[in-house]
Structure formats: C-alpha cells, structure tokens
Amino acid sequence: MLSRPEHNKIRNRIALVSASGLLLLVQPLQAAPPRWKAADYKRTNYKNYDQHPALKQVIDFKNPDTAALDAAIFFETNRVRKENNLPPLLYHPLLEKMALGHSRNMVENDFFDHVDPASGANPKDRALKAGIKNPFTAENIALNFGLQYTANRDVYIMGPGQFSYQQGGAAIPPHTYVSLAKALLVQWMNSPAHRANILSDKGKELGCGAYLFFKKDFNDMPMFKATQNFQWFEPIQP
C-alpha cells in the first residue's frame, strides 16, 4: 500500500593535485540537499509536486524538512480532491501555521486530540491565535510511521529506530516526503469523517503541518503527528 521512496546519492570525489612537489588534497563539499521554500507553492501543483527535488527526497530524520512534508500533504490532498472531481484548495500560510503548531503541541505534550487537554483550546481558538480573523475551520489529525512500515507487522530490531521484516534482512526504508503524504491521505480517506472533510465542497483553503517524534516504547520508531486545517465557506480575510 505504501510506495517506495527514491534515494538520490551524491558521490563525493577526492582529487590529488601536485604543486611544486607537494600533494594537495581537494575534497569538494557535498551539495546541500534541496529544501522547500514558501515561494515554491506558487510554481508547484498537484500534478507535478511529486517531481519536486525537495519533496521526492528520502526523509532525513536527523534533519527533516518539515516544510517539505507540509507541502507534500497539501498537494496530495488536492490531487485526491481532483481525482474526485472537486477543485483544488488554495494554500494559506496561516492555516499551515495553525496546523504545524497543533502537531508540534501534540508531540511535545503527548496527546492526540483536536482539543488541547491542558488549555482546552479547540480549532477555533487556535485559528484565532494564528491570526485568522474569520475562522470557519475543519480539522483532520493523523499518526503515521516515518518508515514504510505496515502497522502491527512483526519486525526484527536492527538498531535504534531501525527494523527489518526478516532476521538479517534489509532495513525497512524511510518514506520520502511524497510517499508519507500519500500514506497519510490513504489513512484519512479510509475514515468516513476525515474523508468528508477532504472532499467537502465547502472547502476554500488549506494548510498542513506535521511534526516528527521517536516512539520510545517501540525502539525509537520515527513517527509523525500530522494536521490538516481547512477554511470553509469563505476565504480567510486579509
């Protein structure tokens, strides 16, 4: 059900240069991996997002590009909407701010709910805090694996955060940002209530946010809590 990520390798070249009888070691620096930028929303859409260099990368759990995952979830949501004959939703940064803030809060305070158990804040409260003046919001949340792991399947532990389906076998690979977004959408679309939010004809705008954590009671399995925030009925007021 989950697609395999692509893994782009950068070869590191070492050259020895002779100068006046001396040997100089020249080791070019590796190019920094591409990162998602806010401006990329304007030149990317649900048709081509899976080819964006930042989004088709394997997720680096030591330095995840959170904005890339947020974008991949956004575009995959619109791809699913278009597949169901609905218009794509517009991106709004305040909805992304709201969604990412909730995902981070759920991780840092160890809960999974639409309402913060400590403060009692609900989606409308969080929308107002994010700067949305006219919130008509709907929300989906999800919990999913950073690896291409099938839930409840037996695994062999290879090391912290590393698993294999077979003893001495290959490690279960990490997701790319694209493949994790697709897995999240499959998960939401299999739930009638979440599916209804995604396919609502009331939707106008969307922002998504996901936050990484490591599940301590599952050998530091990398996992993400993810949030979709929709604006219904009318666009967000400037």
Indicate if the alpha-carbon torsion angle 193, 195, 196, 197 is positive or negative.
Answer: positive
Query: Per-residue confidence at 26, pLDDT binned at 50, 70, 90?
Result: low
Which pLDDT tens digit goes with each residue over 59-101?
999 999 999 999 999 999 999 999 999 999 999 999 999 999 9
Q: Which of 4-8, 120-124, 197-201 bottoms out in mean pLDDT, i.e. has the lowest?
A: 4-8
Looking at residue 18, its pLDDT comes to 35
Which pLDDT tens digit goes with each residue over 165-207?
999 999 999 999 999 999 999 999 999 999 999 999 999 999 9
Looking at residue 14, its pLDDT comes to 32
Q: Say yes or no: domain 33-232 is CATH 3.30.1490.20.
A: no
The answer to whether the pTM exceeds 0.85 is yes
Which pLDDT tens digit goes with each residue over 203-219?
999 999 999 999 999 99
Looking at residue 3, its pLDDT comes to 32
Query: Per-residue confidence at 29, pLDDT binned at 50, 70, 90?
Result: low
Instruction: Give the residue carrying structure tokens 């979709």.
Output: 228
Spatial separation of the C-alpha atoms in residues 109 and 236, rounded to whole Å: 29
Looking at residue 32, its pLDDT comes to 83
Higher pLDDT, 67 or 17: 67
Looking at residue 31, its pLDDT comes to 76
For residue 35, give both structure tokens: 């990162």
Spatial separation of the C-alpha atoms in residues 235 and 238, rounded to whole Å: 9
- Per-domain residue ranges of the chain: 33-232
Looking at residue 15, its pLDDT comes to 33
Helix axes 66-83 and 177-189, enclosed angle (nearest 10): 50
